[in-house]
Amino acid sequence: MSKDKKLKGQAFGPAIVSIANAARAFDAPVRYPVLFKAPHLFEEGLAGTMAFPRMSSFIAMIEHLFGFLILFPILWITRGFKKLKEAVKDFDKRDWFALFFISFGGSALGLFFFLISFAYGNPTIAILLQKAQPLITLIFAFFILKERPKILFWAALGLAIIGIGLIATPDIQASIQSYDYTGLIAILCSLLAATLWGGSTVFGRILTKKVDFWDLTLLRYMGGFIFLVVFNVVLFTYNGEYFRMLAENVTIFKADWGWQLPIGVCIIYFALLTGGVLPLALYYFGLKRTSAAVAGIAELAFPLLAIFVNWYFLGWELNRFQAIGAGILFAAVSVLSFVNAREMEKKKKLNKEKVEEEETTKTE
C-alpha cells in the first residue's frame, strides 16, 4: 500500500466512527416528543405516575422487535446461522448468564431506564452521564475478568466522578429544593442504564470468544424482546390505547415547525438510523480502519453534537458548572481510552511474538 493510500485510510476510518456516533445525537429530538405521547400522562393517581415507565417499556419492546426484524433477514441471507447454532450448543453456565445479562439487562432494561431518564430529565444530561460507561466497564472487568487496571485508571475514575458530580448537582439541588424528585430519578436511571451497558461490554467480551459480534447482536435483540414482552405484561401495556398510539402523529424537532410522523415510523427511525443497526454497522466498519485509541476520541462526536442538537431543537441547555463537568468527564474518559488501547496493543504484540516463537521452536 502506498503512503498516500495509507494516510487516506487512517483519516477515513476515524471519520466513519465519528459519523456513526454523530448519528445517535439526532435521537433525542425525535424520541422526546414520542415519550410525551404516553397515555394517562396528565392523569392523577397511579395511571399518571406510571405513564412514562409504561411508555418506555412499550417503546423499548417495539424497538427491539423492529431491530430483530431488520437484522434477522440480513444475517440469514448473507451468512446463515450454522455457526451460531454450533456456538450455542457449546455454551456453559457462565456463557448463558452472560447472554442473560446482555439481552435482559443491558439491552432491555438498559434501554428502559435510559428512556425514563430522557422523559423525566434533561436528555443532554442523560447522554453525558453515559460517558461514565467505559469506567463502569473497567470496574466490572476488575471484579469479573480479574483485570488489574493501573494507577492511571483510579486517577481517571476520580476525575470522572468530579465531572459527573458537576453535571448532576444542579438537577439534584433543584429536585430537593422543589420537592420534585423527577430530576433525581432521571439521573439515577441514566447511571443505572450506563451500569447495565458497561456490564454488557464485559459479558460481551466473554461471549465474543465463541460467538461472532453480529450473531451476538441478533441474540441480544431477540432476548431483549422476549424479556420486554413479559415486562409489558407486568406493566399492563397490552391494550388498545398503546397499539393505536403507534399510528398517531407527533411533531418532531421544534413545536413551531417540523414534520408530522406516526409514532411507529419514529420507532423504526430509532431502531434503524440512530440507536440500532445502521450506526452499529458503520461503527464497526470504521473501527476496522481505526486504532482503538483514536476511535475512543472519535466517539466523542455523539455527546458533543448532542449538546448542540438538544439545545437547538429541544431548548435544553447546560449551565457553566455542567459544561465544565462535561469537559472533565470527556478528558478523563479520553485519556483512559487512549492508555487502555495502548495497553491492549502491547498485549496483542506480545501474544503475536509468543506465537511466532512457539512456531519457530516447533520447526527446529
Select, from the ranges 82-86, 110-114, 196-200, 292-296, the one with the highest average predicted confidence (pLDDT). Answer: 110-114
Q: Which of 155, 143, 119 is nearest to 38 (CA)?
A: 119
Let me know if residue 264 belongs to a domain.
no
Let me know if residue 253 belongs to a domain.
no
Residue 334: which domain range? 91-209+319-364
Specify whether the CB–CB gap between 274 and 23 falls below 8 A: yes
Model confidence at 337: pLDDT above 80: no
Let me know if residue 13 belongs to a domain.
no
3-state secondary structure 152-165: HHHHHHHHHHHHHH
Question: In sequence order, which residues have a C-beta less than 8 Å from that of residue 81 and are 6 or more positions away?
Answer: 75, 215
Model confidence at 1: pLDDT above 50: no
Residue 293 CA from chain centroid, whole number: 19
Let me know if residue 238 belongs to a domain.
no
Q: Looking at residue 26, what DSSP letter applies?
A: G
Mean pLDDT over residues 225-245, rounded?
A: 94
SS3 of 251, please? strand
Mean pLDDT over residues 62-86, rounded?
A: 92
Residue 8 has a pLDDT of 45
Say what the pTM is. 0.86
How confident is residue 251, by pLDDT bands cut at 50, 70 and 90? Answer: confident
Residue 188 CA from chain centroid, whole number: 16
Model confidence at 171: pLDDT above 60: yes
Model confidence at 327: pLDDT above 80: yes
How confident is residue 60, by pLDDT bands cut at 50, 70 and 90? Answer: very high
DSSP string, 80-121: -SHHHHHHHHT--HHHHHHHHIIIIIIIIIHHHHHHHHHHHS
Model confidence at 52: pLDDT above 90: yes
C-alpha span between 121 and 192 (Å, rounded): 14
C-alpha span between 289 and 127 (Å, rounded): 26
Let me know if residue 358 belongs to a domain.
yes
Strands (E) in 205-344, as ranges, are: 249-252, 259-262
| Cα–Cα separations (whole angstroms), residue 242 to 27, 58, 125, 131, 238 | 21, 8, 28, 32, 7
Mean pLDDT over residues 150-160, rounded?
A: 79
Residue 300 has a pLDDT of 75
C-alpha span between 134 and 194 (Å, rounded): 9
Say which residue, 5 or 49, is predicted with more confidence. 49
- pLDDT tens per residue across span 260-311: 899 999 999 988 888 778 888 787 777 777 665 566 667 777 888 889 889 8
Let me know if residue 152 belongs to a domain.
yes
How many residues are listed for the chain in this entry?
A: 364
Select, from the ranges 52-56, 139-143, 346-350, the one with the highest average predicted confidence (pLDDT). Answer: 52-56
Grid coordinates 397490552 are at which residue?
238
- Percent of the chain surpassing pLDDT 90: 34
Mean pLDDT over residues 51-66, rounded?
A: 95
Average pLDDT, the chain: 84
Residue 21 has a pLDDT of 81
Let me know if residue 28 belongs to a domain.
no
Question: In sequence order, which residues have a C-beta less than 8 Å from that of residue 362 and are 6 or more positions away?
Answer: none
What is the domain count for the chain? 1
Neighbour count for residue 221 (Cβ, 10 Å):
26
C-alpha span between 161 and 28 (Å, rounded): 25
CB burial of residue 306 (10 Å; 0-12, 13-18, 19+): buried
How confident is residue 198, by pLDDT bands cut at 50, 70 and 90? Answer: confident
Let me know if residue 62 belongs to a domain.
no
C-alpha span between 159 and 325 (Å, rounded): 9
Q: Which of 314, 288, 273 is nearest to 36 (CA)?
A: 314
